[in-house]
A and B are shown apart, each in its own frame.
Chain A
Amino acid sequence: MMPTDPWADTRALLADCLGTDDLQALLQRASLIELATDEILLRDMAPTDSLYLLLDGRLEVHVETSGHSIRLGEIEAGNWVGEVAYYTRCGTACSTVAAMVHCRLLRLRFDDFTALLKDQAEVACRLSHVLIAMLAQRLRATVNDPVLDPEGNLLMLGDFSIPLGQQTHHHAGVADFFRNLLGMR
């Protein structure tokens, strides 16, 4: 009997996210986790050691302190979380991330991403490119001060997540950058 592939139904999403079918090096280092509704994935300022790609479901992101919080937005499938803690090497989450519904995620430990950067530069580079796009989106979504909703909750108005269809799917290099800058398709 053939062993079952735990990634069988997520390869297409991963290939779409990273713009490549060469996923073996990444998947060898990754694991699958699931979250129940309202379960906390990351707690603001608490230790963390992994990047996560949301495969199914929806996440909610807050910054919080002393029992009060600002809602930054929602994360939809195809988006990563945990990248700030990795790149800043602080070892702590910079926001609280919780499941709005049942969620399934790919987990990639920081040490494994670093190993990927050293050993499998092309895949790691594709992932870095995607993470830069997410960082840029989140920076723009949090530039303004929060507003109060009718219930008195503080929230940010920008889009915190990048729809999968709007993500960079391919790596054509400088030519594509210039095309994008000039608005050419």
Chain B
Amino acid sequence: MLLRQYLRTFPGFAFMSGEDVEHVADAMRVDDYPDGHVFIYQEKPAHAFHLLLEGTVTVSYYGRSGRSYSARTLRPGDLFGALSLVDGKPAMANYAAAGAVKVAAMPLSAFLLLYSPNSAIGCHFQHVIATHLAEDLKARHVTLRELLERIYPPAA
């Protein structure tokens, strides 16, 4: 019930019927995970599409120098893992639980079936994925603007 409620509140699900949302929810499994659990490893393919329901997940990555950077913290309602599933390339960051978390996960096989553009639900699911990736890209641009402000602080 909690999962269906979450999904219906997402802007990306705007074009999905109630029945479509039920199908998406049915394709996801909700589990509890302990502190430190790594959902996705950088440079490894992702195996599932995730929705954070409770707790926080830290996104970090190793830069060109090998140093680890904390990129952002995900909150309940945030989606993660789609990029690697969409383009079939390794993940760009590590996603790890910061404390105990509850996460809904959709396995790769179900993701690919839903993502197929040859069906109405597939088209609507693509809208969900596009919205999720756009939110990620927008967040990245915000981070780059913040970096600019640190390099060139506004004059007092």
Chain A interface (Cβ < 8 Å from any Cβ of B): 44, 63-66, 68-70, 83-84, 86-90, 94-95, 117-118, 121-122, 124-126, 128-129, 131-133, 135-140, 142-146, 154, 171, 173-174, 177-178, 180-181
Most buried by B among A83, A90, A132, A142: A132
Q: Is the CB of A139 within 8 A of B112?
A: no
Contacting A at CB under 8 A, from B96-148, are: 112-113, 115-118, 120, 122-123, 126-127, 129-131, 133-138, 140-141, 144-145, 147-148
Instruction: Report which of B131, B140, B147 forms a contact with A87, defined as CB distance below 8 A.
Output: B131
Instruction: Tell me the complex Cα distance, A117–B123, Å.
Output: 9
Most buried by A among B89, B134, B138: B134
Nearest B residue (CB) for A156: B144
Chain B interface (Cβ < 8 Å from any Cβ of A): 11-12, 15, 61, 63-64, 83, 86-89, 92-93, 112-113, 115-118, 120, 122-123, 126-127, 129-131, 133-138, 140-141, 144-145, 147-149, 151-152, 154
Nearest-Cβ distance from residue A96 to partner chain B, whole angstroms: 11
Instruction: Report which of A131, A139, A171, A180 forms a contact with B88, defined as CB distance below 8 A.
Output: A180
Q: Is the CB of A173 within 8 A of B118?
A: yes
- In the complex where A171-B118, A173-B116 touch, is A146 in contact with B61 (Cβ < 8 A)? no
List 24 A-B pairs, Cβ < 8 Å. Answer: A64-B148, A68-B152, A69-B148, A84-B141, A86-B134, A87-B130, A87-B135, A88-B131, A95-B141, A122-B123, A125-B126, A128-B130, A129-B126, A132-B86, A139-B133, A139-B136, A140-B83, A142-B141, A143-B93, A145-B147, A146-B147, A173-B118, A177-B115, A178-B112
- In the complex where A65-B145, A171-B118 touch, is A84 in contact with B138 (Cβ < 8 A)? yes
Q: Is the CB of B64 within 8 A of A144?
A: yes
Instruction: Tell me the complex Cα distance, A135–B126, Å.
Output: 12
A-B contacts, CB under 8 A, total: 124
Q: Which residues of B contact A140 (CB under 8 A)?
A: 83, 87, 89, 92
Q: Which residues of A contact B120 (CB under 8 A)?
A: 121
Most buried by B among A44, A136, A143, A180: A136
Instruction: Tell me the complex Cα distance, A25–B103, Å.
Output: 40
Q: Is the CB of B138 within 8 A of A63?
A: no
Instruction: Report which of A135, A144, A180 forms a contact with B130, defined as CB distance below 8 A.
Output: A135
- In the complex where A63-B144, A65-B149 touch, is A83 in contact with B130 (Cβ < 8 A)? yes
Nearest B residue (CB) for A143: B92
Further contacts, 10 of them, CB under 8 A, given A90-B138, A139-B140: A64-B148, A70-B144, A87-B135, A94-B137, A126-B117, A128-B123, A136-B86, A140-B83, A145-B63, A177-B116
Nearest B residue (CB) for A171: B117
Q: Is the CB of A135 within 8 A of B89?
A: no
Instruction: Tell me the complex Cα distance, A154–B138, Å.
Output: 19
Q: Is the CB of A94 within 8 A of B141?
A: yes
